[in-house]
A and B are shown apart, each in its own frame.
Chain A
Amino acid sequence: MTNSSKQSAPLFQLRDQRLQYQGRTVLDNLCLSIASGERVALIGESGSGKSTLLKALREQRPDQVAWCPQQPGLVPILSAFHNMYMGALDRYSLAYNLVNLVKPLPGARALVEPIAKQLGLEQQLFSSTDKLSGGQQQRTSIGRALIQQRAIFLGDEPVANVDEYQGDALLQLICQQHQTVVLALHDITQALSICTRIIGLQDGAIVLDAPSDQLQASDLAGLYSAS
């Protein structure tokens, strides 16, 4: 596993930034840099600005980021196959995409099937996502991110709807396939075991930023009990 390579130029950089969500300032005077190879967990209560921060990071490098938002935005009546394939739409011609929508093509299947297998979705590949459970939908959403084959993974609670055991396995998979990972997580144990760096958000500011091997679960508990 890669360790943080802080010598190289940072991948993401925010300097005295003000981030807003629907016209309301969520994070102010924000300074943050994330280097290639880091695995960062964003921790904080809901509303603390994790999603807003992830969105701002995505906008810095939209073409390098595999995006996995909290609302997966799946198309309900389409199959898991199509919903995952949508991550690769820009790699194929319009004609190929349209034919594949009517009849899944061999090339697209060869791309999607291995990932579906890794995610345990091979049985549900051709079921529409409105017939899948919440956990299966979430895995489909991760599948769409994995299929993009990007160096950076930005995920907003990507495993919130699956059990802890499956969640760990999925996070491992995500980390294996991406050089740099930034995740908003609510499970402190998971954050400490998976990520190399923890960033705590509270009251519109970063209140904690440390390597995870220097932290314990009790250090993070305060992030949730304030105010």
Chain B
Amino acid sequence: MSASNSINTSASALRNLSFWFALSALLCLLLVDIEISSADPWAELGLMTAGALSPSVWSWPTLLSSLANTFAFALQGVTLAAMGGFVLALGYRFTLVRAFCAFIRSIHELFWALLFMQVAGLSSLTGLLAIAIPYAGTLAKIYGELFEEVDPAPANNLPPTSSRLSHFCYSVLPLAWRSMATYTSYRFECAIRSSAILGFVGLPTLGFHLETALSDGQYSEAAAFFYALLLLIGTLRLWLHKRLLPVYLVAVFYYLPPQATISWQLLVRFISEDIVPAPLRGQTIASAETLNSLSQWFSLLWQQQIWPGLVNTVLLGQISLVFTGLLALALLPLNSSLFFRHGRIVSRHLKRSIGDSILVLLRTLPEYLLAFIGLLIFGPSMLPAILALGIHNGAIIGHLLGRYTEEFNLRDDASRGITLYFYEVLPRIYRQFLAFLFYRWEVILRETAILGILGIATLGFYIDSAFETFRFDVALLLILVSAALNISVDQFARYLRQRLQLKTVPESL
């Protein structure tokens, strides 16, 4: 090969990586069931469309109280999470703190809810903690990273005598404050989705009535709850002002005080017996016999639940990740003015804002709800889960990427349309795209596990069955396995991001 043929492009490394990801997803696709098993998906879809077009409220008090509960759990949860996350972020340089944060956020809020329900029942405390704990882990990570990234100059210029905390409050906190507020308000939107979804396991939020109405085929009633959720999220900016926040906070704690009637006896039993692996219960010394039965207990679990659950979670996660990526790339032009350059300025702006509204709408739909609806249409298989995860996450990434293209300074003689997309836009966004996608990987996998509750045989399926049969030891073990999987994937994604230098802004040319 002559020197002129040697390929040394940044594109080729990214392309190779993408190729292996796509290939792995294709192989996974061969191994999973994506059949449409329902007799007549079109008929079901027709009924749903008819319902969506004729929403009806069967009880306004129910609708309004579930709306208020959804809002209350979300606001209480994020407030507590922000405080907890802030304290944790102060110690974020300690590995132990970082590991603790990674652990609590690797367990999905629905799993937390299922755990707390065993001791605190379907109470307001359960709802609050289920959101606050994993969100505290996420916020701690973001706050911690923001603190590390602020300009060190102000800190270096302070006299060295002052205490560490006042040092921090004067030099780091003011610089990070705005980003912290922006990110926290974004997480609040996510918390409303989470809060609504908690209804699917029994808490009195929108999801509870959505599930009932959808399962009964009452699509007009489901539509009313559905629109209420969209309206709640869509209008947040109009009424959730910073200054009114204290008022809302007082209101939600007054309306829904976090409380539960906890039987201490039950709690003690739960911790000292229920969640202890069955063969170890009542054993004080680890005899050879106990160890033997423990290993049998575990190997049976491994064969029947852990391994199949893990495999399915990974397979579904991988397919969904790649599908998310493809959708994000296909959807990004909807939020990019580069692709709305024809016609008059007014109509261009109009088209663009319609395009972006589609993305925002798709992003607003919780994937759990989408998967539930998908199951009703297509019947049980992995297809609804793949579609739900892809649509929700693809819209999130597509929206961000579209906004990112606004920063490009294209030449006056740049091409247009599809050529522009492939020659100018795609190569310029690709690093950022991979960075977003790998960032989202952990979230997709968490969601993949949770979709098992809907009957798809991922880890969540076995966790849900264990809760249903009161085998809390098995449930806890499986939750820990799913947490370990999420943490490993997060670490791997972090490694890939660093290796491909995805954090740096590449647009220097």
Verify B10–A62 contact, CB threshold 8 A.
no
Which chain A residues lie closer than 8 Å to B419 at the CB level?
A: 89, 94, 97
Is A126 in contact with B8, judged by CB distance below 8 angstroms? Answer: yes
Chain B contacts for A125, CB-based, 8 A: 4
Given contacts A73-B409, A126-B4, A129-B509, A79 and B414 within 8 Å (CB-CB): no
B280 in the interface, Cβ–Cβ < 8 Å? no
Assess whether A130 is in contact with B506, with CB atoms less than 8 Å apart.
Answer: yes
Residues in B with CB closer than 8 Å to A129 are: 509
Minimum CB distance partner of A80 in chain B:
B9
* B509→A73 contact, CB < 8 A: yes
**8 Å CB contact of B427 from A75, A90, A126:** A75
Q: Are B10 and A131 in contact (CB under 8 A)?
A: yes
Output the least CB separation between A113 and chain B (Å). 8
Is B418 an interface position by the 8 A CB rule?
yes
Interface magnitude class on chain A: 20 to 34
B397-417 to A contact mask, C-beta < 8 Å, 1/0: 000000000000111111100
Give Cα A94 to B418, complex, Å: 8
Q: Does B6 contact A (CB under 8 A)?
A: yes
Contacts of A32-80 to chain B: CB distance below 8 A: 55, 58, 62, 65, 67, 69, 71-79
Q: Out of A89, A122, A130, which one reaches B423, CB within 8 Å?
A: A89
Closest to B408 in A: A73
Checking A77, A86, A97, A126 against B430 with a beta-carbon cut-off of 8 angstroms, the contacting residue is: A77
Contact B509 A74, beta carbon cutoff 8 Å = yes
**B96 close to A (CB within 8 Å):** no
In the complex, chain A residues 72-118 whose Cβ is within 8 Å of any chain B Cβ: 72-79, 82, 86, 89-90, 94, 97-98, 101, 113
Tell yes or no: A193 within 8 A of B by CB.
Answer: no
Contact B423 A97 (CB under 8 A): yes
Given A77-B427, A77-B430, A97-B419: A127 and B413 interface contact (C-beta under 8 Å): no
Query: Given A55, A73, A98, A128, which contacts B11 in the complex, CB threshold below 8 Å?
Result: A128
A180 at the interface (CB under 8 A from B): no
For this complex, 18 residue pairs linking A to B, each with C-beta atoms less than 8 Å apart, are A55-B412, A58-B413, A73-B509, A76-B428, A76-B508, A77-B9, A77-B428, A77-B431, A82-B423, A97-B423, A98-B418, A122-B4, A123-B3, A123-B4, A129-B509, A130-B506, A130-B508, A130-B509
B residues near A, CB below 8 A? 3-11, 14, 409-415, 418-419, 422-424, 427-428, 430-431, 506-509
